[in-house]
Amino acid sequence: MPEFQPYPAIRYHYSGQETIVHNAEEDEALGGGWAERPHDWLRYKGARRLDPRHDPIKWVDQWPLESLRESLKNQIKARLLKIHARFWQNPDQPGADTEAMVVALDQIAQVLFDAQFLREHHLTHEIPELIWDSAIAGGWWSLASETPSRMFREKLGRYWVFRDDTRNWDMLFGTAVAKWRAILLESRAPGSEPPAPKRQDLTIARTTPRAQRWEDIHILFLSDERIEISIQDCRETWNYGEMGCADRRNGTPNQCWALLKILAQNQGFLPLNRGSSEWAAIEKQVERTRKFLREHFGLTEDPLPLKKGSGYRLRCHIGLAPSYRT
């Protein structure tokens, strides 16, 4: 029986083209999008069908974005599910897949920006990777596989994909990324102040019992960048960025966080020192911190009243944890 000879062989492209390869080198040089049999592409063509296994939020919980809190992940999941629902209303419209992906980048960037978490590298790396994973898991983008093959040779996120040469894929998110880069630059302009957290992003008010008075709240600094907040028997830990205390201009802790740390070091007390050349700036810092605490915990009374003749006294319990380290 003659030995099987793999070459020459016909290869079939997704576009319908055919070509003959004479050896393994020519076969490899074809790149992705070529199959050994014409019917290998049939499952990827024709009308799209929603499948129960399609899940655009499949990978959000495993997204390796640093210290992203659960409430923000839930917001991102909600945005992706809404985009998913809109996509499957008319999935065969030309460009529906890539349009859904561009909208997803804009929506995810908005969530992170509102939480003062968005950084420029998120726009070019972490967010696009999550979007490709979500688009494939949700069935928006169908030309993909969980394993590499002759057809799918390009690795994107957790999948192997084929992207044809009809468009510049590197610029798929180009316009949306440019928009958010501009927004980030404007938010870091000299003299700009980060906006107060939006009410729907106040994690403490939604995930722990709401405090009825300031004295119900216990704050412990675990380190220079992380605190523990206790209300009744519920405890949660957050870093300064998750609390909305990151300076938009450079990502470092803002003045509210700095004043809270001073109060923690002094058992909630800030001595009165009107003779200091910095006192006017300190009073402004106190006012900003009052506003932040009221908005964050949803209480209207003054959290940091001035005790006549002595100084400011925080009504919350605040201090340094035994494990505190710089």
Percent helix, strand and coil across the chain, each to the nearest 5: 40, 15, 45
Calpha distance 137→97 (Å, rounded): 12
Residue 65 sits in the same domain as residue 171: yes
Among the candidates 187, 208, 223, a domain finishes at 187
- 200 confidence band (pLDDT: 50, 70, 90): very low
pLDDT in tens, 212-270: 899 999 999 988 888 989 988 788 888 888 788 888 777 788 999 999 999 999 999 99
Nearest to 151 by CA among 58, 37, 262, 266: 37
Distance between CA atoms of residues 12 and 151, nearest Å:
10
Decide if pLDDT at 303 tops 70: yes
Please determine, for residue 197, whether its predicted confidence score (pLDDT) is greater than 60.
no
91 burial type by CB count under 10 A (0-12 exposed, 13-18 middle, 19+ buried): middle
Residue 52 domain-assigned (yes or no): no
4 confidence band (pLDDT: 50, 70, 90): low
pLDDT of residue 3: 67
Task: Answer yes or no: do 238 and 217 share one domain.
Answer: yes
The mean pLDDT value for 301-312 works out to: 88
Domain shared by 67 and 172, yes or no: yes
Q: How far is CA 292 from CA 152, 193, 244, 267, 296, in A?
A: 50, 12, 9, 19, 6
Band (pLDDT 50/70/90 cuts) for residue 193 is: very low
Clarify whether residues 215 and 256 are in a common domain.
Answer: yes
Q: Does 69 map to a domain?
A: yes
Q: pLDDT for 149-186, tens place per residue? A: 888 989 988 999 998 877 788 889 999 999 999 998 88
Mean pLDDT throughout 8-18? 88
The residue type found at 119 is R
- pLDDT at position 67: 64
Pair (207, 271) in one structural domain: yes
299 with 227, same domain? yes
Same domain? For 101 and 28 the reply is no
Q: What is the DSSP string of 160-223?
A: EE---TTS-GGGTTHHHHHHHHHHHHHHTSTT--PPPPPGGG-HHHHHSPPPSSGGGEEEEEEE
**Assign residue 189 a region: left if phi > 0, alpha if psi is -120 to 50, beta otherwise?**
beta
User: For residue 243, which of 288, 292, 177, 291 has the smallest C-alpha distance?
Assistant: 292
Task: Indicate the average pLDDT of the chain.
Answer: 85
Q: Which of 187, 208, 241 represents a domain boundary (last residue)?
A: 187
**What does the pLDDT read at residue 60?**
94
The answer to whether residue 51 is domain-embedded is no
Is residue 100 in a domain? yes
Q: How confident is the model at residue 194 (pLDDT cuts 50, 70, 90)?
A: very low
72-115 pLDDT tens trace: 899 999 999 999 999 999 999 988 999 999 999 999 999 998 88
326 pLDDT above the threshold of 70: no
Asked whether residue 49 is assigned to any structural domain, the reply reads: no
Is 89 in contact with 134 (CB distance < 8 Å)? no
Whether residue 107 is contained in a domain is answered as: yes
HSE-up (13 A, CA, CB side) for residue 291: 14
Task: Tell me the residue range of the domain where 229 lies.
Answer: 199-325
Query: Does 135 share its domain with 69?
Result: yes
Domain co-membership, 309 together with 243: yes
pLDDT at residue 132 is higher than 90? yes
In terms of domains, do 125 and 242 share one? no
Is residue 119, in this structure, part of any structural domain at all? yes
Q: Domain total for the chain?
A: 3
CB 286 within 8 A of CB 312: yes
Q: Which of 167, 187, 207 is the endpoint of a domain?
A: 187
Tell me whether residue 50 is in a domain. no
The CA R_g of the chain, rounded to the nearest whole Å, is: 27
275 vs 32, higher pLDDT: 32
Query: In this structure, are 249 and 136 located in the same domain?
Result: no
Name beta bridge partners: 10: 20
Judge if 65 and 39 occupy the same domain. no
